[in-house]
């Protein structure tokens, strides 16, 4: 388990102190795929680098399996880092080394016997589907192939944790999908705990169990991916998860309702029932659904053409049918 307790990171600059992280508290359970999402400059990369001490927190504790790594000696820190592989956006491969030499590099640093290292390299190249590229150099590989080499290298020392810093942001959509599938497969097969740093909600939706939303160096919201997607609480989460939803709720006049699909069923029949059974005319202004871990989650926003009477009729109808919703009209949310 990884725990961050009141972690702060401040950079000293000629123009004064810059707070990159402020009072961060997070817990990542063993076996999870935990996403950390935020816009550029939010502090997410600093956060993940503080976990393995590539950046040292100004204050606070970082516990890995109960051990505070901020107090670890240089020797002990090297041992801890072998248990936390890292994948970077820019791949960070050694250009003068072949694929197999790149994957073998951390094993050389760990002084693993040559025969054992060679066996491990073959296993990993088979895992990432690059057995036939073992003698190739990074310059001869595509972006997706380079990232697969980086994943194999990160797994070389059998780490318990895999830290992914924008691991797919430099890749096209199809390649991103294949890399995410590979990471999910690694998690399932070996029980490796994965921390995904990203600015893309589609990455979070695709493979993560939980997500933390970070803004201006602070954690704005933490929860299961399905919960954060279906009903984001913080303004930052709303902007990241469904920016078009925010626009639809803020645009135009009249009473608005946001129906929330929570994975238990579809709210679509409700619209026709409102019109047929209650005589309420609605205008759908936004609809979006996502498949998260095999269940459908989403939102549907509509406005009413009528006044308070239609509003109350619609609200009572939704409550009576156990539909989760948010309703508003320039007043307190109901």
What's the pLDDT score for residue 37?
93
* Mean pLDDT on 192-196: 96
What's the pLDDT score for residue 209?
93
What's the pLDDT score for residue 21?
96
Which one is the CATH code of 2-238: 3.40.190.10, 3.40.50.10420, 3.40.50.300, 3.30.465.10?
A: 3.40.50.300
The domain locations on the chain are 2-238, 242-328
Given this structure, which CATH class describes domain 242-328?
Answer: alpha beta
| pTM of the shown model | 0.82
More confident residue, 265 or 164: 164
What's the pLDDT score for residue 332?
36
Residue 93 burial (C-beta neighbours within 10 Å; 0-12, 13-18, 19+):
buried
Count of Cβ atoms closer than 10 Å to residue 233 Cβ:
13
213-235 pLDDT tens trace: 999 999 999 999 988 887 788 88
Q: Residue 245 pLDDT more than 50?
A: yes
More confident residue, 306 or 107: 107
95-151 pLDDT tens trace: 999 999 999 999 999 899 999 999 999 999 999 999 999 999 999 999 999 999 999
Residues 6+ apart with CB under 8 A from 137: 95, 96, 97, 98, 99
Query: How many percent of the chain have pLDDT more than 70?
Result: 92
Mean pLDDT for the chain? 87
């Amino acid at each position: 388990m990884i725990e961050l307790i009141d972690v702060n990171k401040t950079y000293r600059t000629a123009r004064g102190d810059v707070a990159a992280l402020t009072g961060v508290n997070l817990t990542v359970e063993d076996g999870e795929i935990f996403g950390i999402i935020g816009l550029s400059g939010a502090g997410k990369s600093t956060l993940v680098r503080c976990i393995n001490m590539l950046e040292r927190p100004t204050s606070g504790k970082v516990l890995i399996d109960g051990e505070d790594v901020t107090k670890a000696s240089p020797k002990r820190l090297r041992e801890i880092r072998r248990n936390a592989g890292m994948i970077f956006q820019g791949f960070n491969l050694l250009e003068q080394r072949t694929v197999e030499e790149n994957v073998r590099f951390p094993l050389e640093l760990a002084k693993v016997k040559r025969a054992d290292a060679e066996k491990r390299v073959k296993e990993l190249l088979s895992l990432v589907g690059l057995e036939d590229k073992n003698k190739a150099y990074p310059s001869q590989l595509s972006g997706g192939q380079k990232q697969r080499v980086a994943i194999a290298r990160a797994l070389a020392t059998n780490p318990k944790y895999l830290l992914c810093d924008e691991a797919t942001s430099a890749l096209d959509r199809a390649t991103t999908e294949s890399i995410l599938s590979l990471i999910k497969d690694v998690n399932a097969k070996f029980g490796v705990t994965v921390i995904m740093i990203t600015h893309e909600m589609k990455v979070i939706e695709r493979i993560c169990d939980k997500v933390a939303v970070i803004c201006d160096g602070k954690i704005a919201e933490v929860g299961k991916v399905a919960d954060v997607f279906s009903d984001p609480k913080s303004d930052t989460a709303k902007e990241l998860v469904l920016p078009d939803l925010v626009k639809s709720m803020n645009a135009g006049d009249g009473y608005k309702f946001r129906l929330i699909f929570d994975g238990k069923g579809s709210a679509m029949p409700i619209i026709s029932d409102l019109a047929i059974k209650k005589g309420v005319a609605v205008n759908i202004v936004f609809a979006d659904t996502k498949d998260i871990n095999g269940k459908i989650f989403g939102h549907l926003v509509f406005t009413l053409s009528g006044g308070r009477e239609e509003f109350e009729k619609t609200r009572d109808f939704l409550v009576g049918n156990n539909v989760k919703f948010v309703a508003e009209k320039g007043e307190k949310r109901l």
